[in-house]
Amino acid sequence: MNVLMNLLWLLLGGIFTCLEYLISSLLMMITIIGIPFGLQTMKLAFLALSPFGKEVITVPHSGGCLSILMNILWLFLGGFWISLTHLVFGFILCVTVIGIPFGLQHFKLASLALTPFGKEVVNK
């Protein structure tokens, strides 16, 4: 079932979301300072490619204060707006019964987009 839902996700815009994250990731990695942010955007791209059957977990003891500092910088450098976009799409999709599974995936992407440092994407 996850494979079918991931295929529908890709056909209904997931591939474009993934490509946008990949392009922005490569642009961020041009500078040394942007590499950590580019890696987090790459994490979002892979989740946007196939979100069904994946789970976002918080890694215990993952960077400590540095992880918190990077998440704060991420919020100010666009993470808030990325997360807000996924929340809006999630609410719009959850209006219909058919769109609820896709809306829930946008909520998953929104939580990762809000604070990506210290989180991992794992298979269920």
Per-residue pLDDT of 53-110, as tens digits, reads: 999 998 887 667 888 899 999 999 889 999 999 999 999 999 999 999 999 999 999 9
pLDDT at position 116 = 93
pLDDT at position 49 = 92
Q: Measured in whole angstroms, how far is the alpha carbon of residue 55 from the centre of its chain? A: 11
Are 65 and 72 in contact by the 8 Å Cβ rule? The answer is: no
**Interacting residues of 37 by C-beta distance below 8 A, sequence separation 6+:** 28, 73, 74, 77
Q: When comparing pLDDT for 64 and 116, which is higher?
A: 116
Assign 58 to helix, strand or coil.
strand
Read off the pLDDT band of 124 (50, 70, 90).
confident
The whole-chain average pLDDT of the chain stands at 91
Assign 56 to helix, strand or coil.
strand
Residue 1 pLDDT exceeds 90: no
Neighbours of 91 (CB within 10 A): 12
Are 48 and 109 in contact by the 8 Å Cβ rule? The answer is: yes
Say whether pTM exceeds 0.85: yes
Nearest Cα to 50, choosing from 79, 84, 83, 15? 15
Residue 6 pLDDT exceeds 90: yes
Rg (CA), the chain: 14
Residue the block writes with tokens 């991992």 = 120
Tell me the residue type at 21.
Y
In DSSP terms, 56 is beta-bridged to: 121
DSSP label of 95: T
